[in-house]
Amino acid sequence: MDSLYNNPIRQRVNKIIDSHIVTDNSEALNTVSGLCSSNSAYTRRVLVNEIEKRDMLVNKAVLTEYSKVKSKLQVLLDSLSTLDVAVKDMSNRLQESKTKTHHLITQTTKLKDERKKTGKKLIWVDAFVKNFQISPEQNEYLCNVSVKTPLTIEFFGTLSQIEKLYENCKTLVKCWYQTSAFDIMEMIGLQQEVAIEKLYHWTIGACVSTDSTSNVLVPKALNKFQNRQVLFSNIIDEYCSARKATIVQLFIDALTKEDNASKPIEFYANDAKRYIGDILAWVYQVIPVEKENLATLLKYCSMPDKSQLITDALTSIMEALCPLLKVRAELILKPDKDPLVLWSITNLIIYYKDIIQTIIPKGHLNDTFEELVKKE
């Protein structure tokens, strides 16, 4: 215990405190000594009253200051109360906003899911439409095509797509979607028939025109008809009829009209051998040209009997020359001709008959050659 009081640090602290007390007491005594001049009972009473008055004044001053502090504290308390109300209101609003936000987030998430589902459905619908329906532009173009309307390559693209859609419908039938597949097939079938009908009339018109051999769309058109035998045969017949008229006119022009390179064949009518030779040579030169035209016309067709079809069409076209050829030959080949000339012409006819027969094995042209040989 003594060691506690003998602690140097404690002694120094006590010394500092005692010095303050002594100072305060000294100041108090100096103040009191100024209020009284003698130490009597009256003086003491007066001193007590004076001290009490001063104490009251000090207390009033302290009370006044504390009132100010109280006012400030009340203002602060009111501010804190207002702040508390505002905080509670804000907290309530935040809670309400949180509830609403949670609902909004839930709705947003739900809408996002619906959007994803709708997007997938839209992709499926677009894919379905693309695989089972032509576009409105293609349908409009298909309906506006006519004989007088220039056909373009887009028409064949549209027709090919219709054929592809029809095959897709067959696949759809195999997948047990028969009701929708048959409905779509009926619609596509109608579109296909409309397209084929328009293409048929256009192809007929193109085949009978003079530039049918140079029209690059005609072979594409014939390719679409190779599985429709009746329409295909009608187109080939129309083409052959048009080429017959053309080749007859070309033959007449070669007989009667002079070109820049040579005189007309009729100019050499007095020379029977040359006359017949020029006619037969012209016929022989025309055959490869017409065969090439037919090959070009059918180049996109893949039927197994295409070669025979070309030969038959070529035979039909060349038959148009038989009447003119026969008449011209009979006018020249008269019995009063020199036997040597007749023999030379006969050999010439036999020669051309044999080489033409390698291209056209049978037909009216060969029969005409046979008749001329027999007559001679």
Please tell me the distance from the alpha carbon of residue 352 to that of residue 375, in angstroms, as a whole number.
Answer: 16
pLDDT at res. 13? 59
pLDDT at res. 33? 60
Please tell me the distance from the alpha carbon of residue 46 to that of residue 61, in angstroms, as a whole number.
Answer: 22
pLDDT at res. 289? 93
DSSP letter at 321 equals: G
pLDDT at res. 158? 82
- What's the Cα-to-Cα distance from 314 to each of 254, 304, 309, 352, rounded to whole Å? 20, 18, 8, 17
pLDDT at res. 263? 81
pLDDT at res. 370? 86
DSSP string, 252-303: HHHHH---SS---GGGGTTSHHHHHHHHHHHHHHHHHHHHHHHHHHTTT---
Question: How many Cβ atoms are within 10 Å of 53's Cβ, its own excluded?
Answer: 10
Structure tokens at 38: 């003698």
Please tell me the distance from the alpha carbon of residue 55 to that of residue 198, in angstroms, as a whole number.
Answer: 126
Please tell me the distance from the alpha carbon of residue 280 to that of residue 318, in angstroms, as a whole number.
Answer: 12
pLDDT per residue rounded down to tens, the chain (376 residues): 555 556 776 676 566 656 554 455 556 556 656 555 566 777 777 777 877 888 888 888 888 888 888 898 899 999 999 999 999 999 888 888 888 888 888 888 899 999 998 888 888 777 777 767 777 777 777 777 765 567 788 888 888 888 887 787 777 777 766 677 777 778 878 888 888 888 898 888 888 876 766 788 889 889 889 888 999 999 999 999 999 999 999 999 888 887 777 788 777 777 888 888 889 999 999 999 999 999 999 988 888 888 999 999 999 999 999 998 888 888 777 766 677 878 888 888 899 999 999 998 888 888 888 888 877 5
Contact 141, 150 (CB under 8 A): no
pLDDT at res. 5? 55
Please tell me the distance from the alpha carbon of residue 308 to that of residue 295, in angstroms, as a whole number.
Answer: 11
> Residue type for 317, please?
I
Please tell me the distance from the alpha carbon of residue 63 to that of residue 31, in angstroms, as a whole number.
Answer: 23
pLDDT at res. 10? 66
Please tell me the distance from the alpha carbon of residue 317 to that of residue 212, in angstroms, as a whole number.
Answer: 15
Q: Could you identify the residue written with the tokens 């079809």?
A: 309
Question: How many residues belong to the chain?
Answer: 376
> Whole-model pTM?
0.64
Q: What percent of the chain is helix, strand and coil (3-state, nearest 5)?
A: 80, 0, 20
